[in-house]
Amino acid sequence: MTNKTVLVTGAAKRIGREICLFLAKNHYNILLHYNHSSDEAFKLKSEIENLGVSCKLETVDFLNENEVNNLFVNEKFNLLINNASIFENDNFKNIDYKSLDKHFKANLYAPIILSQRFFKDLQSEGKQGNIINILDYCISGMPKNFLSYILSKKALWEFTQVAAYEMASHIRVNAIALSNTLKAEQQSEQNFAKSINDSPLRLSPNIKEIFNSINFILNTPSMTGQVLFLDGGKHLNILEQL
pTM listed for this prediction: 0.93
Q: Please list the pLDDT of the chain residue by residue as tens digits (242 residues).
A: 578 999 999 999 999 999 999 999 999 999 999 999 999 999 999 999 999 999 999 999 999 999 999 999 999 999 999 999 999 999 999 999 999 999 999 999 999 999 999 999 999 999 999 999 999 999 998 878 899 999 999 999 999 999 999 999 999 999 999 987 765 666 667 776 777 777 888 888 899 999 999 999 999 999 999 999 999 888 887 644 33
In contact, 139 and 150? CB cutoff 8 Å: yes
Strands 171-178 and 129-136: parallel
Which pLDDT belongs to residue 62? 98
Q: Write down the H helix ranges in 105-206.
A: 110-125, 147-166, 189-197
CA 76 to chain centroid: 19
Residues in the chain: 242
Among residues 136, 39, 42, 120, the alpha carbon closest in space to that of 82 is found at 136
- Given this model, what pLDDT does residue 175 score? 98
Instruction: Please report the pLDDT score of residue 183 as a whole number.
Output: 58
* Domain range summary for the chain, segments of one domain joined by +: 4-241
Q: Residue 184: its pLDDT value, please?
A: 67
Distance CA 78, CA 83 (A): 16
User: For position 203, what pLDDT does the model report?
Assistant: 83
Q: Which CATH class is domain 4-241?
A: alpha beta
- Strands of 28-34's sheet in order across: 55-59, 28-34, 4-8, 79-82, 129-136, 171-178, 227-230
User: For the chain, first and last CA: distance in Å?
Assistant: 55
CA–CA distance, 230 with 137 (Å, rounded to integer): 8
Query: In angstroms, rounded to a whole number, what is the distance separating the alpha carbons of residues 176 and 214?
Result: 8
